[in-house]
Structure 1
Amino acid sequence: MTTSNAIPSNLDIQSNVDLSAYNTMSLVCIADRVIDLHTEQDIEQASQILQQTTTDNSKKPSVLVLSGGSNVLLPKQLNITVLRPLLKGITVLNETTDYIDIEVMAGENWHELVVSSVNNGWFGLENLALIPGLVGASPVQNIGAYGVQLEDSLLSVKAYHLPTGVWHTISCEDCQFAYRDSLFKRQPNTWLISRVLLRLHKDPQRVSANYGDVQQVAQKHAQQHQRISIQPVDVMNAIIDIRKQKLPDPKDLPNCGSFFQNPIIAQAQFKQLQADYPDIVGYPMSDGQVKVAAGWLIEQAGLKGGGIAPILTHKNQALVLTNHAPKQASQADIQTSQQYISQTVFDKFGVLLQREPVWIDENL
């Protein structure tokens, strides 16, 4: 890794950077240039450099905004500039007896935010414990788990519009959230999120524990601490236990969490599948459709722990693809295994699986 002096600035600019340590799938990837951003002023200055590049080359520069690298699939070579938002800080903006509004900078670790919030008596994020990545990436995917999504607690985000160099405060409604989707995901590398504003509640009796086996495990935690009813800390600890049991630590076995989205199908199709497979796992949606557990489909297709080496589903959670050849496997290996798993599931159930992580091309 060498420091580039091509463009004078106070920024942390590096060239020919190996990003294998900055993506949790541990894919080898060499980026032409990486700019680490520690302040909002850094973001503005990086934008000016990119605009200068545009003037010099008479073409729009390609940019990748890379957060914690937990939800991206990188190519071997990135012929672009990579921007890494590393801004730190958590600020209380407003507090009442019922709720608290906090502003969290993009470079904060998501799981650490969840733990500290629950320990402070600020609730609403406990179901999202142990999701890897940084806070700035959370609105892009509208991260969710165990019946809760980010949009349930988010008030707004502050984001820099890279094409125009203008700051925007974007409300939750204007983020256009959907299931694992948002304005930011549909307009990739256009917005650089610097901070998010969350409203968390203070009612310890208000929990969401009816998803999967959360209630059973949370109840055990409550009993161990002689609590009559389940509280948010019990839900958080239950989800941590469940995820640790089912999901491998990327440091030990590279992965990017849930690889496939839970497919949403028509109720009629679900009832037909239910007649053939009474144990099928599905969750009714407010619009009348049904969200089916992708992990169940993959496991019932006989692919738990399977796939095409070196990319295999995890032995304890079929929804997760793992890399058994870190720093050697490539996007092509992932695509081969993904297509095999998707086709096998479709042939058996007639349900199409969609990839959740973002696929990055070398020139974007």
Structure 2
Amino acid sequence: MSIEQDVNLKPFNSFGLSTFAKRLVRIRSEADVRRVLDHPDLGLSPKFILGGGSNIVLTRDIDDVVLKLEVLGMRLVEARHDAWIVEAGAGEAWHALVAWTLEQGYPGLENLALIPGTVGASPVQNIGAYGVELKDRFDSLDAVDLVTGRTVTLTASQCRFGYRDSVFKQGGFAGLAGKSIITRVRFRLPRPWQPALEYLELQRKMVETGITAPDARQIFDWVCAVRRAKLPDPAVIGNAGSFFKNPVVTEEQCRDIIGRDPGIVHYPMPDGTIKLAAGWLIDACGWKGKSIGGAGVYEKQALVLVNRGNASGAEVVTLARAIQESVYGRFGIRLEPEPVVV
């Protein structure tokens, strides 16, 4: 186990924000976690878990011991009559896993293509896109308790998945935020495969192409094309993907907003609530393309905040708060950020 000192975290967060870690340890196995816990100095120090850095906004240097998650490996665990069970190391790139499952003939994750970040972050955030959420394809995961060093296996119910939420983002006595580190995740990909095509942009692709019964690879290609058309590549311009959650309101609240803004983009939910498009709300307030310092709102998608090259974490937070106040002032809706501000 090697301990790296004074490491610039700019390459390790998708926003490309330059902050420093006092100490960084690369975690490539459960044994590495236990070595950290048994270390006379590191074991007693607070820990900061870092995966692909795609869901954080760094506003300061990190004095905690940074555990850089790099557990690799992808494999088929079991081919059941009703599902393929696939396992991946938490340090694997998420999109690489999606592509690998399709190459191996295990469809089911194609709607989640091109989401930035690592496999280990996927259950933390309960990632979702184009009509599918991580919880819909989740089987179980392994995590190491950062106090005892024991490896535990958690099921979906134990992960307490919510909209862009899980037990790993929840603090308090019952939450696991900062208390454990995910090392491996298993996915249940149903057999026979059924396409998820309810999302409007996928339906448009079917009309455009004339393909009414796409296979998983076709859906994968469509999702990649749609995301590349409207979302910036973090390797080119720093960002954390969608910065705000789509707010959920009551039917009455939605009717009130429609009365003032008939064009608002909204989606009825099975429970009778209405999901509003946060990007539309931000765009309606005139934020698309605007900047505060080096932080800006992406010209093609108002839901995405970007680093125009020299942004600080403080500038990203200032921009986000200004957007929140603007949307609340016009619509009476408080937008909730997706990334964790550190």
TM over 0.5: yes
Find 1:67's aligned residue among 46, 51, 57. 51
| Other-structure match for 1:203 | 192
Distance 1:113 1:321 in 2: 26
2:224 counterpart of 1:240: yes
Q: Does the residue aligned with 1:213 lie in a helix, a strand or coil?
A: helix
Q: Note if 1:357 corresponds to 2:339.
A: yes
How far has the Cα of 1:312 moved from its partner? 1.0
Correspondence 1:255 to 2:201: no
After TM superposition, the score normalised by the length of structure 1 is: 0.89
CA RMSD of aligned residues (A): 1.6
Q: Which runs of 5+ in 2 are unaligned?
A: 171-175
Equivalent residue, structure 1, for 2:100: 116
Counterpart of 1:296? Answer: 280
2:15 corresponds to 1:31: no
Structure 1: where are the runs of 5+ without partners?
A: 1-10
Q: Paired residue for 2:173?
A: none
Paired with 2:86 and 2:64, the residues of 1 have a C-alpha distance of: 34
In the TM superposition, residue 236 of structure 1 has moved relative to its aligned partner by 1.3
Q: CA deviation at 1:105?
A: 0.8
1:189 corresponds to 2:164: no
Contact 2:42 2:65 in 1 (8 A): no
Residue pair 1:282, 1:292 contacting (<8 A) in 2 also: yes
**Counterpart in 2 of 1:335?**
317
Q: Is the 8 A contact 1:307 1:340 kept in 2?
A: no
Contact 1:76 1:330 in 2 (8 A): no
Is residue 286 of structure 1 aligned with residue 289 of structure 2?
A: no
Q: Which AA in structure 1 matches 2:98?
A: V
- Find the partner of 2:163 among 179, 185, 190: 179
Q: What corresponds to 1:4 in structure 2?
A: none
Counterpart residue type for residue 280 of structure 2:
W
Return the alpha-carbon distance in structure 2 between the equivalents of residues 286 and 218 of structure 1: 24
Return closer, same or farther for 1:105/1:42 CA change in 2, 3 Å cut-off: same
Residue 304 of structure 2 aligns to which amino acid in structure 1?
V
Q: Is the 8 A contact 2:295 2:312 kept in 1?
A: no
Between 1:280-289 and 1:148-157, the stretch displaced more is 280-289
Deviations 1:95-119 (A, max 9, x none): 0354211111111110011112123
Secondary structure of 1:299 counterpart: helix
Counterpart contact for 2:140–2:156, Cα < 8 Å? yes
Decide whether aligned partners of structure 1 residues 194 and 297 sit closer, same or farther in structure 2, where only a CA change above 3 A counts: same
What is the DSSP-based 3-state SS (H/G/I as helix, E as strand, rest coil) of the residue aligned with 1:352? Answer: coil
Q: How far did residue 83 of structure 1 move? A: 0.2
What is the aligned-residue identity percentage?
A: 37
CA shift at 1:218, angstroms? 4.6
- What is the identity, as a one-letter code, of the residue corresponding to 2:340? V
1:126 counterpart residue number: 110
Deviation at 1:325, TM superposition (A): 2.7
The answer to whether residue 140 in structure 2 is matched with residue 152 in structure 1 is no
Partner of 1:7: none
Contact 1:218 1:238 in 2 (8 A): no
AA aligned to 1:27 is L
Aligned to 1:322: 306
Contact 2:237 2:309 in 1 (8 A): no
What amino acid does structure 2 have at the position aligned with 1:231? D
Instruction: Quote how far apart the aligned CAs of 1:307 are.
Output: 3.9
Aligned positions, number: 337
Which position in structure 1 is the counterpart of 2:35? Answer: 45
Whether contact under 8 Å (1:121, 1:202) holds in the other structure is no
Post-superposition Cα deviations, 1:41-65, rounded to whole Å, max 9, x if no partner, equal 112112222xx3378xxxx522110
State the 4+ residue runs in structure 1 displaced beyond 3 angstroms: 218-221
Taking the aligned partners of 2:117 and 2:42, their CA distance within structure 1 comes to: 31
Name the amino acid aligned to 2:320.
Q
User: Would the aligned equivalents of 1:218 and 1:237 in 2 still touch at CA under 8 Å?
Assistant: no
Asked if the contact 1:73–1:331 (Cα under 8 Å) also holds between the matched residues in 2, the reply is: yes
